[in-house]
Structure 1
Amino acid sequence: MKLFFRLLPLSLCLLLAAGFGPATLPDYAVITLQPETLSFTPTEYYIESVQDKRTQRDAFASLILRPDKPTVPVDLDGGTAPAIYRYIARSLKQNRSLRPIVLRITVGNLTETAGPKGAINGRLNLSLAFDVKREDEQLSLVTYQGNARYQRPPGQTQVIEKVIRQSVNEGLRFLNNFMNKESGNVPVLASKISVTFDNVTTRTSASSDTVFYDPDRPLTWDDFRAPPPAANRYAAQIMPGVAYEGHSDIEKGNIHVKLKLKVFMLKSQSWVKPVGHNDYALNHEQRHFDISRLAMEDFRKRVNPDSLSLNDYNSNIQYQYIDTYRALSLRQQQYDDETNHGINQTAQARWNTQIDAELRTFGLK
């Protein structure tokens, strides 16, 4: 947004230091932003702090205070960030029960140059970035760029403060309009999170390489399509897998995370030898598949709103998945070790009972 000011000459003397006019310039000069009551009241946020993040943190302005002299550096009273925060605190109603917003000044400078017929031209560049603070993190929200120009006669400087103040006001108005319109639709402004799950049980065609876990569709030996390795001493091997995919959307400040849970086996990597082609061996492989399904139930319990950060829920979910996968690998190994890959029938019967009981708790048996 660009602002252009061209004001008529003003009376009164230099605003940069009280009690001094242009003819008796003090050793120092500052620009004091005069508070005013803004026409809008925030209902979604308050300005918690102002940070000066300019590349060059020199004096805010370079002004022509005397036509026969070069420009001199002139800062905002107390420094750029403190001066703007003080102005906002005195001009904008602040409700600290609302969302805290940090204002970062990324560009801020006002430069004057000599113009025609003794006039002085001024140019203000002001870029503001607004961040929201949530869960002790500062998250980028929206940016505003305001440029303004003016022309003034020598010795009359009120326009300088007015241009800076009006540009800051426009930045605040821009933020206010954005928050009023988008507060329920922007993820970094969300205040709640919910999770829903969908178990993929699609029955694929016979030609497909993938079989998704379905309690109503147990495995058959026809699902084991890979040629058995001659050097392997086992009768059969299943290649199960677990995965998830998901997306999220936001509505009225609530992030909805929707996850699809996939438990599957790959026919092209699962095999059986003729010696193992019996119901007992098939049951052993089915139990490997069941254990994978139970692992995803554990994953479902791990991923709940209390375990997820609004700021980093994707990473939270990925961490829980990796931890679930690690635990699954250990349990699969424990199952094979204790049953001696199905040879120990007593241990196999014990695992059958245990797995069935767990499946029943989830309505899968």
Structure 2
Amino acid sequence: MKLFLRLVPFSFFFLLATGFGPANLAGDAVIALQPETLPFTPTGYYIESVQDKRQQREAFASLIIRPDKPTVPVDLDGGTGPAIYKYISRSLKQNRSLRPIVLRITVGNLTETAGPKGMINGRLNLSLAFDVKREDEQLSLVTYQGNARYQRPPGQTQVIEKVIRQSVNEGLRFLNNFINKESDNVPVLASKISVTFNNITTRTPASSDTVFYDPARPLTWDDFRAIPPTTSRYAAQIMPGVAYEGHSDVEKGSIDVKLKLKVFMLKSQSWVKAIGHNDYALNHEQRHFDIARLAMEDFRKRVNPDSLSLNDYNSNIQYQYIEMYRALSLRQQQYDDETAHGINQGVQARWNNRLDSELRTFGLK
């Protein structure tokens, strides 16, 4: 399942009036984000950490401190990642019993340029990626992009901190709204998993090459359509197969995996010689089909919520299928070896009883 990703642009414009007093950004200045109480409280998450993932880890801002001088690099107080995490920790209520979210800063820079009539133009680019921490993995959830512009007179720098702070706030607001709206429908936010099985027993037309396993429809010799190889010393051969297909839905915070289980035989690859055209030989081939059906019951038991990871349930299911298929191949070989391909009637009878007992356990007999 693909992870859910959404990109929402946001922009705003500030015009700083000349009545604001100057802020001290001279010398070894830094931009200190001032904490504030945000007007929303997370109910399903908290910000566990902030990671600075910008391609260039340079100072966050390039500012015009003096109009007659080049721009100078000015960083957030403590560095970009730590400064934004400190601001969030002091401004947003954090309940660490909730779902952990990692904030990645992928783009973050503020650049000032000289504007008309001695004014200074500023432009902020800020891109935030929010990831879910689940089962010790970091899964991409949603991204936010904020762009802001402002204009200020020389010496008045309060707007710089305000623009950065408000852009971070909008990113947090976007995350909060997204989780409140989508938490029940997004796979990476799911906290539970369930599995629903459906056995395919479709009665195929006589013209079809596929016969699906159906307890109410045993095999007949008419299902064996291939031409017997002249070099084989055996009287008959069935070609059974096992497969599954599925998809998953997310509802109310739970991933529901729906699997269709298929046990079938192919007429075009199954054959019988005239010498083997009897009920005893047909029973032997039917038991190969039964063994395949029982293997799928084992697969069904293997695939349960306790065996599946929320993050990688597809791989878990594939692994259990491979394990089932390996065991099925070994049991089919064991069946033929012990019965001598049906020649040993006493052993064949014991296998018949054993398989009938197992089939009854699953309501298949």
Give the TM-score of the pair, scaled to structure 1.
0.96
Match of 1:211 in 2: 211
Q: 1:66–1:155: 8 Å Cα contact kept in structure 2?
A: yes
| C-alpha contact 1:10 1:158 (8 A) present in aligned 2 | no
Alpha-carbon distance, 1:349 to partner: 1.0
Deviation of the 1:10 alpha carbon: 4.3
Given that 1:237 and 1:270 are in contact with CA atoms closer than 8 Å, whether structure 2 keeps it comes out as yes
Match of 1:8 in 2: 17
Cα distance in 2 between the residues matched to 1:198 and 1:256:
13
* C-alpha deviation, 1:15, in angstroms: 4.2
Code of the residue aligned with 1:108 in structure 2: it is G
Alignment: residue pair count? 356
Q: Residues 15 and 158 of structure 1 are in contact (CA less than 8 Å); yes or no, is this contact kept in structure 2?
A: no
Match of 1:118 in 2: 118
Q: CA deviation at 1:280?
A: 0.6
For 2:236, the equivalent position in structure 1 comes to 236
Q: Who is 2:299 aligned against?
A: 299
Segments of 5+ residues of structure 1 without an aligned counterpart are 17-24
Please say if residues 102 and 131 of structure 1, whose CA atoms lie closer than 8 Å, have aligned partners that are also in contact. yes
Alignment partner of 1:285 is 2:285: yes
How far apart are residue 7 of structure 1 and its match? 2.2
Aligned counterpart, 1:63: 63
Residue 364 of structure 1 aligns with an amino acid whose one-letter code is L
How far apart, CA to CA, are the structure 2 residues paired with 1:276 and 1:91?
82
Structure 2 residue 41 is the aligned partner of structure 1 residue 41:
yes
Q: Deviations over 1:25-74 (max 9, x none)?
A: 32x11000000011111111110000000000100000000111100000
On the 8 A contact 2:102/2:131 being kept in 1, the answer is yes
Kept after mapping to 2: 8 A contact 1:15/1:31 = no
- 1:89 match: 89
Rounded to whole Å, the distance in 1 between the matches of 2:237 and 2:225 is: 11
Partner of 1:21: none
Conserved in 1, the CA contact under 8 Å of 2:16 and 2:153?
no
**Which letter does structure 2 place at the counterpart of 1:12?**
G
1:177 counterpart = 2:177: yes
TM superposition shift of 1:151:
0.5
Q: Give the drift of 1:5.
A: 1.7
**Distance between the aligned counterparts of 1:10 and 1:82, measured in 2?**
32
Q: Which amino acid aligns with 1:200?
A: I
- Aligned CA RMSD, in angstroms, stands at 0.8
- Counterpart of 2:21, as a letter, is L
Q: Counterparts of 2:134 and 2:96 in 1: how far apart (Å)?
A: 14
Distance 2:107 2:72 in 1: 19
The aligned residue for residue 131 of structure 1 is 131
Equivalent position SS for 1:4: strand
Q: Where do 1:182-197 residues align within 5 Å?
A: 182-197=182-197
Identity of aligned residues (%): 86
1:338 aligns with 2:338: yes
- Matches of 2:192 and 2:162 in 1, distance apart? 41
CA contact (8 A) 1:132 1:141 kept: yes
